[in-house]
Every structure is written in structure tokens, then in C-alpha cells.
Amino acid sequence: MLCVIPPNTIPSRDKLENSALNNPHGFGFAIVVPEENRIICERSMNADESINRFLELRGKYQTGYAMWHARIATSGKIDISNCHPFLLPDSEHPNTTYVGHNGMLDVYEAKDEVRSDTRIFVEDLIPALGGVTALDNIQIFTMLDEFTRGSKVCILTVHPKAEYQMYLFHEEAGHTDEDKVWWSNKSCELDTKSAYLYNGYYDYGYAGTFVKDGKEGVEAYYNWYVCQTCKHEFDWETECPDDYCPKCRTCLMCESSAAVCFCYRPESKKKTDIDRPHRSYYAPEGGWAIS
């Protein structure tokens, strides 16, 4: 989940908490303080700590843009080093630009790479293009817009040579709520009456397995998912053999229709895959949904 907050606005705590419950692999935020020409950025593996700290600081600093991010891991280690937002390297103007991302990016990852796709994108690719100021070049902006299609990317900056304080790629793929806060998907709106718990592997769905009727324990877990497009609820094992909603045929990762989805399905390695028959739909080495 990537949440972008305009000036003089504070997001809903409930929506931040829902986002964290459904994207539990690390959290972070960045707040622009234009009067001081700086950006406050903090990252944490603890959802409550991140939300509380963000709302506390946002209450004090409201005149600039802000973003908050909850990660669900698709690549790279699950640790604080891969939490968003990421600092964009700039030797001339350090600590002036931060990047948050929702989705998956087609970047090269070495076999022993511990960085996530987003971190590689921020630390290697954007600097090679000229940094944040290159985004003011319409050709480069258009190129990155096409490269990040299927994802959403927010860049906050106080770089003295940048034309804007906030750059947002694929705004149309998210939605803006009644408070004018922009959310990259609908996982912020899942019903809080159910206790959603992540069960240790990534399944292209925003809602993890949950404990039914408040009962806890291994036997209580079952594979129940909620489509973020049509809100259809279904059993993953019996109704979803190919990572698309059985009702509306929307990809559970990129929220595109099955006809135009180009999501990459990672290599099936984990022991849990043995008991998940839908994994046999993909080649063991992984691959693109459409080629």
C-alpha cells in the first residue's frame, strides 16, 4: 500500500491500520517540511510504531506533501533495509528525495541480491537517468511512466532544482477518498471486524488468511481471500487456480484484467507450495503470465 497525503491533510487511522494488517512486511513514511527545506523519513518493522509516529509528526508538520507505505514482499529480504520510502542518492544534494512504490518492477536482480526491486530502481536506475530533476524532462518522465506501468510510484523532494515537491506515477490506478488522500489500492478498506493475519508466504492477494470467529490456532486458518476490485470473497485453494478473481477475472496482484495482465510469477520454491495445487499452473522456474 502506498498512501499519498496532500498538504493540510491527515489520513484515517483505520485505513492505515487496515493497510498494515494486509501488507505486514515493513512500514515507513516521509513528510515534507517546506519551511525547513527538509523531509522527515522514518521506517519500522512495527506497524503500531510507524502509524503512531507518522500521525504524531503529521499533526505537527502539515504544510507539505507526505506519504506512508506498508510493504508486502515480492523480492528482497524482509527487513528494515527494504522498507519504503527509499532515499534517492544525490551527492550534491543529499537527503532531499524519497521514493515509495506499490507493485512490481522489471529490474534485473542478481541471484544473491538482497535488495528489493524498488530499492534497486531507486538506488541504481533513477540516478543513472539524472536523478529527480530528470523527471522535469518530459521524455524521461514519459519513459519512466511507461516503465512503471502496472505499478504506482510517489517521489517527494525538496531538491532546489526540482520543479515539483511531489511526483506521482499512475495516479489513475489508485483512488482518492473523501479526505483527498490517495491510496494505491483497496486494501485500506477491508473490513476490520475480521482479524486478518499473514501466514508466511506471498500469494498475490492483499488479504492474508484470517482467524474465523475469533478462534485462534493452526486449525482455524483457512484460505479465504477478498478481491480488491469487486469485493468477491472466495476460497483460494478451490476457486482460484490462476491468481485471478474467479468472479471478475482481475489479477490479484496488479488489479488489471486477465486479458491485459503482464505480472511476473516468481519461482515456486517454498515447502508450503507442496500443499497449494494452484502453483502447478506455472512453470517451476517462474515466468510471465502473458508472453
Give the confidence band of 283 by pLDDT, cuts at 50, 70, 90: very low
Least confident of 65-74, 105-114, 242-251: 105-114
Lowest mean pLDDT among 112-121, 241-250, 253-262: 253-262
Mean pLDDT of 223-232: 71
Specify the pLDDT at position 214: 54
Average pLDDT value over all residues in the chain: 79
Counting every residue written for the chain, the total comes to 291
CA 225 to chain centre: 18
Helix, strand, coil percentages in the chain from 3-state DSSP, rounded to 5: 30, 20, 50
* 2-187 CATH pick, 3.30.70.2860, 1.10.287.130, 3.60.20.10, 3.90.1720.10: 3.60.20.10
Query: Residues 79-92: what's their mean pLDDT?
Result: 93
* pLDDT higher than threshold 90 for residue 134: yes
Whole-prediction pTM value? 0.68
More confident call, 269 vs 254? 254
pLDDT at 262: 67
Domains of the chain, by residue range, sit at: 2-187, 190-288
pLDDT at 165: 97
pLDDT (0 to 100) of residue 264: 59
The pLDDT, as a whole number, for residue 144 is: 94
Q: Which residues contact 260 (CB under 8 A, 6 or more apart)?
A: none
Contact between 31 and 39 under an 8 Å Cβ cutoff? The reply is yes
Q: What pLDDT, in 10s, does the model give residues 208-218?
A: 344 445 544 33
Please give the Cα distance from 211 to 30 (Å, whole number).
33
